[in-house]
Amino acid sequence: MKHPALLLLSLALSCVAPAAAQLSFSGAAPKVKAELVAEVKQAVPGQPFRVAVRLDHEPGWHTYGKVLPPEVVGKPTSLKWILPEGWTVEELPWPPTHQVPSTDGKTSEGYDGTVYLPARISPAGKAGDTAELIVKVDALACDPQNCMPAKTEARLTLTLGATAEPDPAAAEVFAAAPGEAGKTEEDAQAAPSDQPAHSFGVYLLFAFIGGLILNVMPCVFPVLGIKIMSVVQQAGEDRRRVLLHGLAYTFGILLCFWALGGLVVSLGKAWGFQLQSPDFVFGLAAFFLVFALNMAGLFEIGASAVGVGADLQAKQGLSGSFFSGLLATVVATPCSAPFLGPALGFAVTLPALQALLMFSSIGLGLASPFLLLSLVPGLVAKLPRPGAWMESFKQGMSFLLFGTVAFLLWVLTGMVEGQPLLFTLLGLVVVALGCWIYGRWSLPHKPARTRRIAVVLALVAVAGGLALGWPQVEKGAPGPAGSHTENGLTWEAWSPEKVAELRAAGQAVYIDFTAKWCLTCQVNKRVYKDAGLQKFIEAKKVVLLRADWTNEDPRITEALSALGKAAVPVNVLYLPGQNEPVILPELLSVDNVSAALAKLP
C-alpha cells in the first residue's frame, strides 16, 4: 500500500489492542490465523528439523514480507521464537511476495491466502523430554479499505526420542519445500539445502584437515618450528619424555579450543573474536616482539630465573609444551582455512557437546604434526642431531616472529588511528629497549648489583612501554565509512540497508566479508588485481560491497550467521531476482569468481 495516512491510522490502532492473541480489531474476527507445523512428531537431540509458520488470511486481506521494497509503505512481518533452553532456530528463505490489492486502487507486494514461513530448529536435551515451541507473529494486515495490527502466536508440542518420527500430516507441506514456492528449478539449486550438505562425520574430517592446514599459517608456523626444535634437543632422551611433551602440547591446544569453542557456542561470539579487541592484539604483538628478540639472541632467560616467564620459556619443561599449545591455538584463529569454514559454520548450529567435539577435531588437526613426532620414535631418531646449527635455526625463526609482529601492527592500524597509533608503536619500542637492557647488563659475569639494577630497569621499561602503547580507542556505533578504490575496483561500505536497497533496485551485489586480522582474506585480495576480472565486473555492472569485520560489528556477525558462516573470509554474490546468494569458496581464484559472475544475465 502507498497511502501514508492509512499507515499512520494502522499504527494508532495497534495501541488500542496490543494484547490480542490473534489479529483482531474492535472485536472483529481475526483476519489472519497462525499455525505451527513440523516435519516430525518426534525429534532427536542435536538433529535439526524443519518447521513452518502457516498463515491463513481472510479473503481480500494480505500481510507483508520480511523486507519491504522501497516503494511499498507497510510493516514487515516478523517472527519471535520462544524455545526451550539450548534450542536454536534458523530462519530459512521465505516465499517471494506477489502483487496484492492496495488501498489506493493500485497494487502492493505481500502475502495472501495461505503461506508457509519456514525455519530450521536444532533441538537440545535428552530422549524422553517434551518441549513446547512458541512463535509470535507481528504483522500488519490490510484489505483495500483498512489496515489492522496483526499480533498472533502459535504453539506446538514435540517429544524427543532416539529416532526421528516423521509427521505424515505435514509430509505434503514439506515435500513442497516451504519457502521455495514460486522459484524456478535453477533458483532452487543457487539456494541452500534444508539439510546439512554433509554428514557429521564428514564435517569432523573437514575440521581435522582445516586444523592441520593451520600449521602453515605464518603465525602458527614459528610456534611449531620452536617445538620441533625442542624435540631435536630431546632426541637422545627417554622416548617416554618426548611423548609426554607431545601430549602436553596437544592438551594445551585442546584446552584452548574448548575454551574458545565454548565462548563461540554459548555467547554467540565468532571465530577469531579475540582479535577484534585492540587490547588483545597489542598484548599479543608485545609478547611476540619479546619472544622474537629472545630468539634473535638479544637476551637469554637463564635456566635458574624465577617466575612464570622462565617456566614458559624453558624448552624442556612440560609447561613449555603446554603453553606452546595454548599459544598455537590463540594465533591460529585469525583465519578460516580451507575446509575449516564449513566445519565452523556447522559447529555453531550444533548442541554444545557435538560442537565441542567439532572444535576438538580442529585442535587435533593442529596438534597432529608435533604429536606424530612424539608418538613415532623412529621419526624422532631421523631428525638432525643437536649441534651448533640449532642456534642459527633459532635466530632464523625469529624473523618469522618479527613478521608476525608486523602483521599484528597492521591489524592495529584498522583499530587505532591518529596520534594514539603513534604512541602504540612507540610503546613497543620502549618494550624492546627493556629487552636490550636486560640482555646487555643482566649477564652472568656482571656484578650482582649491576644485574639487579638491569632487571629493575628492564621491568620498568617493559611496563612503561605497555602503559604508553596501550591502545586508546573511542567506541562508537559501527557505520559505513564511504567508498574507496582498491586495485582498480571501487568498493562501497556494506550495510544491511545498502544490500536491501541495491537488491530491490535489481542490482547485482558482490559482498566481501573480510577483516584485517584474517590472513586468508588478504591472500584473496590478489584476485581482484586481475584485469580480465575487473572488466568482467564492470561489464556485468556488479556493485561491490566490503563488510569490514576488523572491529566487532554485531550486524556483520548476524549477516554471517544468516549465511551459515562463523568466520571470515566469506564472499557472496546476489543475483537479481533471486533470494539466496551464490556463496564462493573460502580461497578465491580468478576462475571461481568468474564462474560466479557468469551466472549473471
The CATH number of the domain where 532 resides is what? 3.40.30.10
Question: How buried is residue 18: exposed, middle or buried, by Cβ count under 10 Å (0-12/13-18/19+)?
Answer: exposed
Instruction: Give the pTM.
Output: 0.45
| Alpha carbon distance 496, 555 (integer Å) | 8
| Alpha carbon distance 284, 278 (integer Å) | 10
Residue with the larger pLDDT of the pair 14 and 403: 403
pLDDT for the residue numbered 408: 81
Q: What is the pLDDT of residues 156-190, one digit of tens each?
A: 999 988 888 888 888 788 875 544 433 333 333 36
pLDDT for the residue numbered 460: 92
Residues 160 and 273 in one domain: no
Domain count along the chain: 4
Q: Is residue 513 part of a domain?
A: yes
Q: Which of 177, 144, 163, 215 is nearest to 2 (CA)?
A: 144
H helices present in 333-418, as ranges: 340-347, 352-375, 377-382, 389-412
Residues 346 and 456 in one domain: no
Mean pLDDT, residues 531-550 taken together: 91
**Among the ranges given (37-46, 167-176, 262-271, 453-462), the one the predictor scored with the smallest mean pLDDT:** 262-271
Residues 151 and 48 in one domain: yes
Identify the CATH number of the domain in which residue 73 sits. Answer: 2.60.40.10
Q: What is the pLDDT of residues 286-322, one digit of tens each?
A: 887 887 887 788 877 543 332 333 344 344 467 777 7
Q: Is residue 538 part of a domain?
A: yes
**Among the ranges given (9-18, 262-271, 488-497), the one the predictor scored with the smallest mean pLDDT:** 9-18
Q: Is residue 506 part of a domain?
A: yes
Residues 53 and 25 in one domain: yes
Q: What are the residues facing 119 on neighbouring strands?
A: 51, 91
Residues 522 and 380 in one domain: no
Residues 258 and 365 in one domain: yes
**Among the ranges given (188-192, 215-219, 435-439, 466-470), the one the predictor scored with the smallest mean pLDDT:** 188-192
Q: With contact defined as beta carbons under 8 Å apart, do 399 and 260 qualify?
A: no
- Report CA-CA distances (Å) from 344 to 203, 338, 339, 558: 9, 11, 9, 15
Q: Is residue 479 part of a domain?
A: no
Residues 254 and 320 in one domain: yes
Q: Is residue 190 part of a domain?
A: no
H helices present in 27-81, as ranges: none
Q: Which three cell numbers stand for residue 297?
A: 639472541
Q: With contact defined as beta carbons under 8 Å apart, do 425 and 409 qualify?
A: yes
Cα-only R_g, the chain: 29
Residues 164 and 243 in one domain: no
Q: Which three cell numbers stand for residue 153?
A: 502466536
443 is in which domain, residue-wise? 417-470
Q: What is the pLDDT of residues 80-113, one digit of tens each?
A: 899 988 888 888 888 888 888 765 556 678 898 9
Residues 403 and 427 in one domain: no
Q: Which of 230, 254, 252 is nearest to 241 (CA)?
A: 230
Residues 259 and 402 in one domain: yes
Average pLDDT, the chain: 76
